[in-house]
A and B are shown apart, each in its own frame.
Chain A
C-alpha cells in the first residue's frame, strides 16, 4: 500500500514514490479518486508536469482555459504552471492514473548539498524549530523585492507574519485586512501535490486571482508555508462579478494582468524566501547547539580544573602524610603511654597537643570549621610554644561565647600568630605577649591578634598591606597572602584584613568577617 492523501474531493494513493537515494528516481505515480459531485479547485503546480489517464468515471477537466470531457481512456497533460481544475459530473467516482514529474531537479545544486550535509547533524528539527517573527527582517526584504502581499504560516496553518499590501479588491471584497483567512484560499489545508513536494504550487480564487503556496522545509520536514500573490493572470469574464457592485469591478479592473515572465520571477523569489527562512532557522539551530556544546565544554574544563586541583591536594596529602600518619600517631600514642608511665603528665599533655595540631593541619585547606575548633588549635599551638618560652611568654585569649559556634575557614589565625614568633619576637628576649580577641560586632565577627614584638616601620606596613592585597603574580605566597586569598574566595568584598604596626611597640592584625549562614 502506498501513501494515501485524503482531500475533501477524494484521495490520491501514491503507488510509486522516489526513494530519494538516487537522483534518477524522481517520478511520482498515483491513483487519484474524485468523488461524484466533487471538484478539485483551480490550482497550479510550478515544479511538476502531470499526466492524467482516466480509468473510470466521468467529468470535466479544465486545463488553462480549455475545457475537456473526462472519460475512461482520456489522457491529459498538464504543464508546470498551468491552471487546472476537475469536476466529477457523473454518478461514480472518477479514477485516474496520475504521473507527476519534476520539471527540473536541483539536487545537484551546490548550496543544497551543503544544506543537506548540515541537516544530517541536526536532531529532529521539526520538534525544535518553530516558525516565529524572528524572520521579520528577511520577510520585509522579500516583500520589497516582490511587491506582492505575502504571509507566512506555521505548521498549524496559523499566520505568523502577514504583510499589509493586499490588493484593494481583496480588502473590500473579502475583508482580508481583518483576517487573512477571510480569503477562502487560505483555508485549504489540502496539498494538491505529492508528499515532500518542495516546489511552489498555487490556488485560484473564484475571481481568478492566484495565491502561491511554498513550503518551508528543513531536513525533509515542513516547518511552515509561504502563501501570497493575489495576482491576476488573465481576464476573468465580467459575468462572475456581475452580482457585485460597480465599485468591485472597478477595483478588480485596476489590478494589472501579470504576464508569465513576471509569474516565474515571483515564484523564484518565493522559493528564495523559503530557502532563506530555512537557512535562518538552520543557522539559529546550529548556533544554539554550538553554544550548548560550548557550555558543556566550559563546564567540563571547569570541572576538570577543580578535579585536578583536588587530585593534586589529595595526592600531596596522601604521599607526604597519610602513608606515614598511621605510624606517626601510633608512635605518639606509645610515647604518651611512656610519659604517663614515667609520671610525666606534662609530657603526655604536650604529646596530645602536638597530635591535635598535626591532625588539624592534615585537614584539607578548604575545610570550614567552627571558630571554637580554630581557637582550640591556636591554644594547643601556643601552649607548645610556651614549652619553649616558658614564663617569658604571656598569652591572653578572649573569645565571647556567641562567636564559638560560628563557621570560619580552617587555619586562618595560626599563620598570623606564627608570624609573631618568627618576626615579632625574633630579637626579643623577655616579656613576650600575645593577645587574641574574638567577638561579635554588628553581625560581624571580629578577630584581633596583637603582639608586643619589634613592629614595623610605617612604610613597611603599607608595603605589606599592599603586597597581601595586590594581585601579585609572584608565586611567593606567604602565610598572610594565603589567608587573604582564601578569605577573598570565601567572602568576596565582604571582609576586612588589616595590619597595623608601630616600630618598637608591636603589631596588630584585624580581621572582620561576615557570619556564614548555617545550612
Chain B
C-alpha cells in the first residue's frame, strides 16, 4: 500500500478522492489530508507520504508552490499527481516540469484516477482487491523466486483460484503474467542501465539464463540484444 496525502482546499473534493479510492479498491493508504499549501508542506515533512494527490488552485500557497518547495527542501522523491479544474496547457507544462507524475482534471474520473495510480504502482489495478494484493506482491518481489503454490499459501486460496482470477482479468495464467511482468522490467533495464544480460536476468528473477532467453524470445519475438 502506498502512503498517500490528499491536498485540496475543498472538503467535498477531498472526500471524492477518498470515496473513489475506497470504492475502486485502489491500493493507496491515505495517511492524511491538507486543506492548503502551507498545511500540505507541513504534513509532507511529518507524515512522509510516498504519493501526494495535489490540487493546484488553492488560496495562498498553491499546488505549484508546494511542489516547488518540496523539490527544493525535501530530501526524498515524492510522487505528485496534480488535480486541476483547468485544462490549461501552461499548468500542465509547469506541473510536469516540477515532476508531477500525472495530471487529472476535475471532476475526477474514477477510471482516469485508476490509470494514473497504476502507472505509479507499475501494475494494472483491478476491481478485485485480492487480485490487487497478488499483483502488488509480484511487483514488490519479482526479483526473487515466486512460486504459485507459495503465493496461494500466502493469500490463503488455492492455486486454481489464483489462475482463475488471472484468466478472468488478464486472460492469462499466473506464470504467464509473472513472466510478462519480469520481461517488461528486463526491457526497462536493457534500455536504461549499463548491465550485462546475465545481470539483468538475475535482476528480474531469472536464475537460469537460458530460460530467460527462451522466455524473452517467446514474449517479445526478439532477443535481449536487440533491446540494448
- Which residues of chain A have a CB within 8 Å of any CB of chain B? 325-326, 328-330, 332-338, 340-341, 345, 348, 351-352, 355-356, 359, 362
Contact = CB atoms under 8 A, between A and B. Distances in A.
B13 A337 contact: yes
Given A325-B85, A352-B109, A359-B105, A330 B19 contact: no
A329 B16 contact: no
Given A330-B10, A333-B16, A355 B86 contact: no
A333 B13 contact: yes
Contact of A362 (B12, B87, B108): B87
Contacts of B10: 330, 333-334
Given A330-B106, A334-B10, A334-B12, A340 B85 contact: no
A351 B107 contact: yes
A340 B106 contact: no
11 contacts: A329-B105, A332-B106, A332-B107, A333-B13, A333-B16, A333-B85, A334-B12, A337-B16, A340-B19, A348-B110, A352-B107
A329 B106 CA distance: 6
Given A325-B85, A325-B86, A329-B105, A337 B12 contact: yes
Contacts of B16: 333-334, 336-337, 340
Contacts of A352: 107, 109-110
**Closest 7 pairs (CB-CB, A-B):** A337-B16, A329-B85, A333-B106, A337-B12, A333-B107, A336-B107, A334-B12
Interface string B1-20: 00000000010110110011
Interface in B85-114: 85-87, 105-110
B23 interface: yes
B78 to A, nearest CB: 24
Contacts of B12: 333-334, 337-338
A345 B127 CA distance: 15
Contacts of A341: 15, 19
For A330, A334, A340, A359, the residue with the greatest tally of chain B CB atoms inside 10 Å of its CB is A330
B51 to A, nearest CB: 20
A352 B108 CA distance: 8
Contacts of B20: 340
Interface centre among A334, A336, A341, A352 (most CB of B within 10 A): A336
Contacts of B15: 337, 340-341
B85 A330 contact: yes
A332 B12 CA distance: 11
A242 B23 CA distance: 124
User: Chain B: interface residue count, which band?
Assistant: 10 to 19
Interface in B138-180: none
Given A333-B10, A337-B19, 17 more contacts: A328-B85, A329-B85, A329-B86, A330-B13, A330-B85, A332-B106, A332-B107, A333-B12, A334-B12, A334-B13, A337-B13, A340-B16, A341-B15, A352-B107, A352-B110, A355-B106, A355-B107
Give the interface SS of chain A, mostly helix, strand, loop or mixed.
helix
Contacts of B65: none
A325 to B, nearest CB: 7
Nearest to B14: A337
A369 B12 CA distance: 33
B64 to A, nearest CB: 15
Nearest to B13: A333
Nearest to A355: B107
Contacts of B86: 325-326, 329
Nearest to A349: B110
A339 to B, nearest CB: 9
B50 interface: no
B58 to A, nearest CB: 11
B203 interface: no
A330 B107 CA distance: 7
A351 B107 CA distance: 8
A335 B85 CA distance: 13
B13 A340 contact: no
- A335, A340, A355: residue with the most chain B Cβ atoms closer than 10 Å: A340
B108 to A, nearest CB: 7
B54 to A, nearest CB: 14
Contacts of A325: 85-86
Contact of B57 (A326, A340, A351): A326
A510 to B, nearest CB: 32
A21 to B, nearest CB: 60
A337 B108 CA distance: 9
Given A329-B85, A341-B19, A336 B105 contact: no
Nearest to B86: A326
Contacts of A359: 87, 105
A32 B173 CA distance: 108
B72 to A, nearest CB: 28
Nearest to A334: B12
B21 to A, nearest CB: 11
A141 B20 CA distance: 92
A330 to B, nearest CB: 5
Contacts of A330: 10, 13, 57, 85, 106
Contacts of A340: 15-16, 19-20, 23
A336 B23 CA distance: 14
A100 B11 CA distance: 100
Contacts of A326: 57, 85-86
Contacts of A345: 23
Contacts of B57: 326, 330
A359 B87 CA distance: 8
A333 B106 CA distance: 6
Interface hub of B20, B23, B85 (most chain A Cβ within 10 A): B85
A326 B62 CA distance: 15
Nearest to B17: A337
Contacts of A362: 87
B19 A335 contact: no
Given A330-B10, A340-B23, A362-B87, A335 B107 contact: yes
